[in-house]
Every structure is written in C-alpha cells, then in structure tokens.
Amino acid sequence: MEKLNSLNGYLNVNKEPGMTSHDVVFKARKLLKTKKIGHTGTLDPEAQGVLVLCVGQATKMVEYITDHDKVYEAEVVLGLATDSCDLSGTIVDKSEKRIDGRAFEAILSQFTGDISQQPPIYSAIRVNGKKLYHYARNGETVEIPERDVHITEIRLLNFDEAAQKARMMVTCSKGTYIRSLCRDIGAALGT
C-alpha cells in the first residue's frame, strides 16, 4: 500500500466562504500528512468556488496551471460601495440611482480586453514588503498600484431590477480581482 506522504496529484476543493486559500492548504496538509501542497490561485475569503490543490510532484505544475484564464460567476449588488469591495466590508458610499438590465449589459464592453484595475485594499498583494490588508487593518493609507489584466469575456446571466443585482460570468487572466471589477462597473454606472 502506498504511503500517504508519497501522494501525487490534484485535488479539486470546493472552498467555502469564510476560509482563505491558505486555510484550505493548511487543512489538506494535515489530512494528507504532507507539506508538499500548493494551490493554483488565491480565492478571496468570502468567495466560494473550486480551488485546485497540487499535491507532491504535481506542485511542479502550479506555475503552468495558474497561467491559464479563469472563469468566475459573480454577483454585483448595485447602490452601495464597501471598503473591501464585498458584502463583508463596511459601507463607505450609497446611491439611490437605479438602472435596468440593458444599461448594465451595455457597460460591460468597456471592461473587456486589456484593462488596468486597482486591487482592493483588503488583498494579499504586497506593497513596500507588506500585504495590503495589513495597511487596511491598521487604518494606514498606501498608494495601491494598478495592474494590467485581461478580461476575455463578461456575460450577463441575470439582472434583478427590483433588487438591483446582476449575476455575470467572467473569463479573465490570472491576477484579476473580481471585486475590483464589480466596483468599477458600479462606478461606471454611477451607482
């Protein structure tokens, strides 16, 4: 019988909201009794979705897997902005402006192709050697550099006019922050 510490391969994990990608790797290391586990892209703590773990020799493939486009399904809640760009954050702005599905869908073309986006302050990107969320938690301000990403496709799946919510499918390059994309779409709509 093969020893647990010689496992090699991939695990597709359904990451639940409230867990970090690091939490998932930590638990997998304990369960599989191995330290050689990596993930193929960080999911935000509030995000739910598939997190691919590479175990053992498969960790050599992480860099090749992460270079491919990713597909996300996202929900945009219009009319409010939070400091974290998600519903777990503190509301920093509100708008009573209402839009319809046609207006929402029409704006999406502005966000396809090569775009620049500013990551949210609550993210693990390092600026001056320190993760952005450390600045946010300490109430410090820092200039967040924009980054170039590529949005291959944004497709509106559903628009609930009464609730001012949109569900969309996004195909994008690595490094894209869906929270930032949602924030920018809301800003472009004036909501």
Give me the active site residues, please: 44
Beta carbons of 67 and 105 less than 8 angstroms apart: no
Reference 189, options 166, 163, 169; nearest CA is 166
Tell me the three state secondary structure of residue 51: strand
| H or E element in which residue 151 lies | strand 147-160
Burial category of 88 from C-beta neighbours within 10 Å (exposed 0-12, middle 13-18, buried 19 and up): middle
Is the backbone of residue 129 left (phi > 0), alpha (psi -120 to 50) or beta?
left
Reference 36, options 61, 65, 70; nearest CA is 61
**Residue holding tokens 């894209």?**
176
